[in-house]
């Protein structure tokens, strides 16, 4: 594959801007039986025939559990100031509550110390989809007790690591877990509840708020969440398409942003469907944050079901049931990643400016906690062009007045890409899954050089 020309130097970002890369435990750690680690919902899901498209599983992944010194050395070479990783809940509290694995905590203790020795700030995410299977069997995020047990687990981790960790993230992408895990069954735990999955959204948000309280009690001074967001584009000006797009935007964007930022759900009828003392819960969910994390990949074009261009059966690797009241459509006229996702950097500017306009002073400083793309090859000029375009779009949003404090690339290395298995490569570092050898890609070298140039400014 031809390498595209390296673009010109990036615009100048503030000197205190945080540059980082992201990973998650379930996608890279492996060692699923080490140190008393309990089973996760993803261990069980991946073991079921037909769940993972290439028939693989995360038992080894990239073996980060054993090879973390090598990976920390890559971070140091890359020159990032921060590393966003996730703590595996079942590695620390094997059954989700009760007994704590000191061996599990010891691993993250070693990782944090190695990062600090390399001059890289650790940014742990407390939950990145790997619900302990023991809790899943009791209802998982559909039940309120999981939120309370999550807060207790957050306290355990903060007690051990809080003396060295400055920035914390509570949850990663509760929208995707709700939609893909509980609504459509495409991800663990594989339930197909459609709109009856909404309690999982509420309980994750409640868990977020309770975890913020637990972290504050341990002295944490910098806390955020990593929510996935993207602009929703309406397929046409028709009443049906507009209504469908509004509902999609409410469910994928506003449902997860507004309880956190505004202390309310965006729709009273929807709030009435949620379990528990919702008004009281919202006071917990809306704990003040120090920054708001946004994972951005692409916009979504949405119309009414059955409209011309509406996706039927499969969209972006996700099987869509016909009874959904909205239908994503393909966005034409843009290059695509190997995942088939459109590359639209200007939509990142649109998203950030719209958040600033919608939430005003209720929006804390923003950090882009994930942004990346899937491409094959080590000479990955397409990824360089993707990152360059999105960083320029980010700079434009900042010039328009959006307070953005940092940017994390997804991902440091190729990894287990959930239901896709090992078929999608998002990494700056290539992983040979037969030997687990790491090879920095052209995009790694480009970002390294770009960060060195930023540091000279």
Distance CA 155, CA 151 (A): 6
Say which DSSP state 140 is in.
G
Cα dist. 211→25, 163, 234, 362, 375 in Å?
Answer: 19, 17, 36, 20, 36
Tell me if 417 is assigned to a ligand binding site: yes
- Kindly tell me the burial class for residue 429, based on how many C-beta atoms sit within 10 Å of its own C-beta (0-12, 13-18, 19 or more): buried
C-alpha torsion sign, points 75, 76, 81, 83:
positive
Q: Is 128 annotated as a binding residue?
A: yes
- In whole angstroms, give the CA distance from residue 427 to residue 378: 10
370 is an active site residue: yes
DSSP E strand stretches across 173-291: 222-228, 232-234
**Strand 318-319 relative to strand 121-127: parallel, antiparallel, unpaired?**
unpaired
27 has binding-site annotation = yes
297 belongs to an annotated ligand binding site: yes
Per the annotation, the verdict on 173 as an active-site residue is yes
* Token pair in block for residue 49: 């025939």
Number of separate helices (H) and strands (E) present in the chain: 16, 15
- Residue 256's closest CA among 203, 299, 214? 203
- Contact between 129 and 91 under an 8 Å Cβ cutoff? The reply is no
Is 42 annotated in some ligand binding site?
A: no
- Decide: 413 and 75 in contact? Cβ < 8 Å: no
Q: Is 49 exposed, middle or buried (0-12, 13-18, 19+ CB in 10 A)?
A: exposed
Q: How far apart are CA 217 and CA 425, in angstroms?
A: 39
Catalytic residue among 29, 176, 350, 370: 370
**What letter does residue 60 receive in the DSSP assignment?**
S
The catalytic position among 136, 173, 350, 382 is 173
To the question of whether residue 410 is assigned a binding role by annotation, the answer is: yes
What residues contact 382, with CB distance under 8 A and at least 6 apart? Answer: 4, 335, 337, 373, 375
Report, as residue numbers or ranges, the catalytic residues.
Answer: 173, 370
- Residues placed in the known binding site for substrate: 27, 128, 172, 297, 410, 417-418
- Residues placed in the known binding site: 27, 128, 172, 297, 410, 417-418
């Amino acid at each position: 594959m031809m390498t595209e020309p390296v673009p010109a130097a990036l615009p100048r970002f503030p000197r205190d801007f945080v540059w980082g890369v992201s990973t998650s435990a379930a996608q890279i750690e492996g060692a699923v039986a080490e140190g008393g680690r309990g089973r996760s919902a993803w261990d069980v899901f991946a073991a079921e025939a037909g769940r993972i498209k290439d028939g693989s599983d995360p038992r080894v992944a990239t073996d980060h559990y054993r090879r973390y010194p090598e990976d920390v050395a890559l971070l140091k070479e890359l020159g990032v100031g921060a590393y966003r990783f996730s703590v595996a809940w079942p590695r620390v509290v094997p059954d989700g509550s009760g007994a704590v694995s000191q061996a599990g905590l010891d691993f993250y203790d070693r990782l944090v110390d190695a990062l600090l020795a390399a001059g890289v700030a650790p940014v742990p995410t407390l939950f990145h989809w790997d619900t302990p299977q023991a809790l899943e069997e009791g209802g998982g995020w559909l039940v309120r007790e999981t939120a309370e047990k999550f807060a207790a687990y957050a306290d355990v981790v903060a007690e051990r690591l809080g003396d060295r960790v400055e920035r914390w993230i509570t949850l990663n992408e509760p929208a995707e877990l709700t939609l893909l895990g509980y609504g459509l069954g495409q991800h663990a735990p594989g339930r197909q509840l459609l709109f009856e999955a909404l309690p999982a959204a509420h309980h994750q948000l409640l868990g977020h708020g309770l975890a913020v309280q637990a972290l504050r009690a341990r002295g944490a001074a910098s806390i955020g969440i990593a929510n996935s967001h993207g602009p929703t584009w309406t397929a046409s000006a028709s009443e049906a398409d507009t209504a469908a797009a509004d509902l999609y935007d409410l469910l994928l964007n506003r449902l997860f942003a507004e309880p956190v930022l505004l202390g309310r759900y965006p729709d009273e009828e929807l709030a009435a469907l949620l379990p528990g003392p919702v008004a009281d819960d919202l006071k917990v969910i809306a704990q003040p944050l120090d920054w708001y994390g946004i994972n951005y990949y692409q916009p979504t074009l949405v119309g009414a079901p059955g409209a011309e261009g509406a996706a039927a059966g499969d969209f972006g690797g996700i099987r869509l049931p016909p009874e959904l009241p909205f239908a994503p459509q393909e966005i034409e006229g843009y290059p695509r990643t190997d995942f088939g996702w459109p590359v639209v950097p200007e939509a990142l500017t649109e998203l950030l400016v719209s958040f600033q306009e919608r939430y005003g002073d209720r929006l804390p400083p923003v950090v882009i906690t994930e942004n990346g793309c899937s491409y094959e090859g080590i000479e990955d000029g397409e990824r360089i062009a993707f990152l360059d375009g999105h960083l320029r779009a980010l700079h434009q949003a900042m010039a328009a007045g959006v307070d953005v404090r940092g940017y994390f690339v997804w991902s440091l290395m190729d990894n287990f890409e959930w239901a896709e298995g090992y078929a999608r490569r998002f990494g700056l570092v290539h992983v040979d899954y037969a030997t687990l050898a790491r090879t920095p890609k052209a995009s790694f070298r480009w970002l390294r050089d770009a960060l060195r140039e930023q540091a000279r400014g």
